[in-house]
Structure 1
Amino acid sequence: MTVLVVGASGATGSKLVEQLLIENYKVKVIVRTPKKLPESWKTNSNLEIISASVLDLSDAEMAEIVQDCNAVASCLGHNLTWKGVYGKPRRLVTDATRRLCEAIKSNHPQAPIKFVLMNTTGNRNRDLSEPISFAQKCVIGLLRLLLPPHVDNEKAADYLRTQIGQNDKSIEWVAVRPDGLINEEDVSDYEIHVSPIRSAIFNAGKVSRINVAHFMASLINDADLWSQWKGQMPVIYSVSNQD
């Protein structure tokens, strides 16, 4: 099985690549600056490094890259700098999700390709009646006005929900919603919920990036787990890091 990972040089994306390599998957990564990647990646025969900005690839190039992939995972995000938050591309995650899905469809795969998107608990699953307080609604409204990356995350998940939907013949998807991300070295116990069990704004939980990566890799690897969560937006918390 071959998996394409975009956002592979990021804090969570790099963990996902490592998890997939542990499982002996063939992995492709699209990165702008390969020089920053670990030396062990550059010598790993199961890893193909494509030096490019994902949105600069042509439709034909994108289609060729995903042609032999059984799964695509996006850990793309905006750098926490002024340029990263307010500069272009404002719709990095959404546009990459759309273009990758269009590339998959253009190849007319014989079996559905798995698409795993890393999202956020700050984004509600609008397919469900997820409760949210008035105060949190107000804060989310401000985030939409002041932080373009939040809107980008919302629109990326909405694209999967509304444009791909539940019955697409070429693509099945899961949008993983981690709560407050922290760094840890090892995979630990974590729990998965259909919807948030605490306020993402006023009572956020925590989850390690390596646990998020482990869950995303498990979705790709485990057919039963995929069947359980496909077409949904599961929320992940680390068990040992809650108040």
Structure 2
Amino acid sequence: MVNHKTVVLGASGATGKHLVSQLLHSGQNVKVIVRPGAKIPDVWSEDENINIIRAEISKTDESSLATLVRNCHAVACCLGHNLTWKGIYGKPRKLVSQAIQLLCKAISLNEPEKPVKLLLMNTAGNQNRDLSEPISFAEKCLIRLIRVVLPPHTDNEAAAEYIRSQIGQSHPFIEWVVVRPDTLTDRKEVSDYVLCPSPSRSAIFNPGKTSRINVGHVMAKLIKEDSFWEKWKGQMPVIYNDEYSS
């Protein structure tokens, strides 16, 4: 296996930590960008395969980020809003969507010879508008309400929509996959899971569950395995723990 380098944003978060661990476990080189005050696992400081960059992504300019992602074959975004009043309603309200736009511009600025893999952790509550994903009238009404009262959902939608519509399927420098977990849970070990092109159940009225470690595992697999990447690139697969796949 070729030892590439991956940049991970949101690496100190509950899911990002799992992705980084999966990559390091397989011997990959990883560059993580975390907030200046973020807590990280002690073992990271002892691993020669990890490079820790402390920076506020919302305050990083395009040129600086281009330098950080240069010569990396994959960039993964596991950013999310903290589930506190400030995290949900405070600034930056467009944390994820602005970071994704900045990442795409930074990657393009480098003009890599081979397209960079861009991965975004998103949500099963967001539709893939490239597909005719069925949604009931009641769900449509509730989603409209969620967009008003929960700004992070709107941010997640905007991030995925920017990738889908602005980067699209034939960008010269970027290929992408948006991973959509359902209700996130914690498990200590990777378990069986399934990937579906679209939700197999209602994320609002009949949600499934997805463990964070499984999300980290599938994102690492997409980064490491080119054949798996080719199967899902340009798509927004939904991931469920196997027992919640239908």
> Please, what TM-score do these two structures have when normalized by structure 1?
0.98
Query: Does 2:30 correspond to 1:16?
Result: no
2:126 counterpart (110, 123, 140): 123
Q: CA deviation at 1:240?
A: 3.4
RMSD: 1.1
- Structure 1 residues 13-59: Cα deviation after superposition (integer angstroms, max 9, x where no partner): 00000000011111011111466111100111100000111121122
CA distance in 2 between counterparts of 1:33 and 1:211 reads 27
Which residue of structure 1 lines up, in the alignment, with residue 141 of structure 2? Answer: 138
Opposite residue 168 of structure 2, the aligned amino acid is G
Q: Of the candidates 50, 53, 64, which is equivalent to residue 50 of structure 1?
A: 53
Distance in 2, Cα, partners of 1:129 & 1:212 = 24
2:211 is aligned to 208
Cα deviation 1:194-215 (Å, max 9, x = unaligned): 0000000000000110001100
Aligned: 1:114 with 2:117 = yes
Pick aligned residue for 1:163 from 163, 166, 178: 166
CA contact (8 A) 1:34 1:49 kept: no
Residue from 83, 105, 108 that aligns with 2:108: 105
Contact 1:78 1:84 in 2 (8 A): yes
Q: Deviations over 1:178-236 (max 9, x none)?
A: 00110000001000100000000000000110001100000111111111110100000
Q: Structure 1 residues 106-115 or 50-59, which shifts more?
A: 50-59
Map of 2:156 onto structure 1: 153
Match of 1:225, SS? helix
Deviation at 1:60, TM superposition (A): 1.8
> Residue 158 of structure 1: SS of its match in structure 2?
helix
Post-superposition CA distance 1:96-148 (Å, at most 9, x none): 00001100000000000000000001100011110001111111000011111
- The normalised TM-score by structure 2 is 0.97
Structure 1 unaligned spans of 5+: none
Q: Name the counterpart of 2:194.
A: 191
**1:81 corresponds to 2:98:** no
| 8 A contact 1:6–1:75 mirrored in 2 | yes
Identical columns (%): 57
C-alpha separation in 2, matches of 1:25 and 1:227: 20
Per the TM alignment, residue 242 of structure 1 is displaced from its structure 2 partner at its CA by 6.2
Residues of 2 paired with 1:240 and 1:151: CA distance? 29
Aligned residues: 243
User: Aligned partners of 1:58, 1:172: CA distance in 2, in Å?
Assistant: 22
- Alpha-carbon distance in 2 for matches of 1:150, 1:58: 25
1:228 aligns with 2:235: no
